[in-house]
Amino acid sequence: SYELTQPPSVSVSPGQTARITCSGDALSKQYAYWYQQKPGQAPVLVIYKDSERPSGIPERFSGSSSGTAVTLTISGVQAEDEADYYCQSADRIGAYRYVVFGGGTKLTVL
Amino acid sequence: QVQLVQSGAEVKKPGASVKVSCKASGYTFTAYYMHWVRQAPGQGLEWMGWINPNTGVTNFAQKFQGRVTMTRDTSISTAYMELSRLRYDDTAVYYCAKDGAVVLLLSFDMWGQGTMVTVSS
């Protein structure tokens, strides 16, 4: 099981807005990160520290945070955005810090 | 540009060990923690632990403690992950991933291409 909860799938038509949510207690204390993974490829960071976008990532990708949930928003979805998306954060037990992932969301562009 | 290049696919028998390498280039290898993450076929991502390439200090996910070793060779900017006592459910793609900041951020801004490890008798 995963410490962060994501919907297994989201479907949108090209040009529409896709929103992928991720929830978990760790998110109220730590930043969230989002990764895009296309079939047969390594993950790519698309959002860091809840809402920052790495260089080279299109502006249509954005992130937001509220309490114990975060959202990845893809505005004007394109066919090339079809992929699995994973949220990630960190948690701790005392001084021991560890990484937590969501189970992933498959984005289908209809 | 920053690049992580991993060693090739491996097939191992149950009970054996596997050692995967990850050669870094395009940045100061000793300045950023290196993580290992695995992904079983059709499944999600699972964090295994990190190594501080500067000091050699490691920290592992509790699930892997006692079975995983992470080392590095700073002379060739390469990190290694060795998993012992392999089981069938260790079959997965293993990724190295560079931490996102010089102060441990526990996030990954660059990933290797992945190494497929198959455990089969």
Assigned token pair, A36? 């895009």
Predicted pLDDT at A32: 97
User: Which DSSP state fits A52?
Assistant: B
φ and ψ of A28, to 5 deg: -80, -15
Within chain A, strands assigned E span: 9-12, 18-23, 33-37, 44-47, 61-66, 69-74, 83-93, 96-101, 105-109
Predicted pLDDT at B102: 87
Predicted pLDDT at A1: 74
Predicted pLDDT at B37: 98
Using CA atoms, how far apart are residues A33 and B30, in angstroms rounded to an integer? 23
**What residues of chain A lie within 8 A of the CB of B104, using their CB?**
97
In Å, how far is A72's CA from the nearest CA of chain B?
16
Predicted pLDDT at A2: 78
Residues in B whose CB is inside 8 Å of some CB of A read 35, 37, 44-47, 59, 61-62, 95, 97, 100, 104, 106-114
Residue ranges of chain A with per-residue pLDDT less than 70: none
Using CA atoms, how far apart are residues B101 and B103, in angstroms rounded to an integer? 5
**From residue A8, how far is each of A20, A60, B15, B44 by CA, in Å?**
10, 22, 34, 11
Report which residue type is found at B36. W
Using CA atoms, how far apart are residues A17 and A46, in angstroms rounded to an integer? 16
**From residue A108, how far is each of A12, A13, A78, A85, B30 by CA, in Å?**
6, 8, 10, 11, 39
The tens digit of pLDDT for each residue in A10-32 reads 999 999 999 999 999 999 999 99
Question: Beta A9-12 vs A105-109: how paired, if at all?
Answer: parallel
Q: Which residue in B32, B108, B109 has the most chain A C-beta atoms within 10 A of its own C-beta, making it the best mutation to test that interface?
A: B108
Q: Mean pLDDT in each 10-residue stretch from start to end of chain B (121 residues)?
A: 98 98 98 98 97 97 96 98 98 97 92 98 96
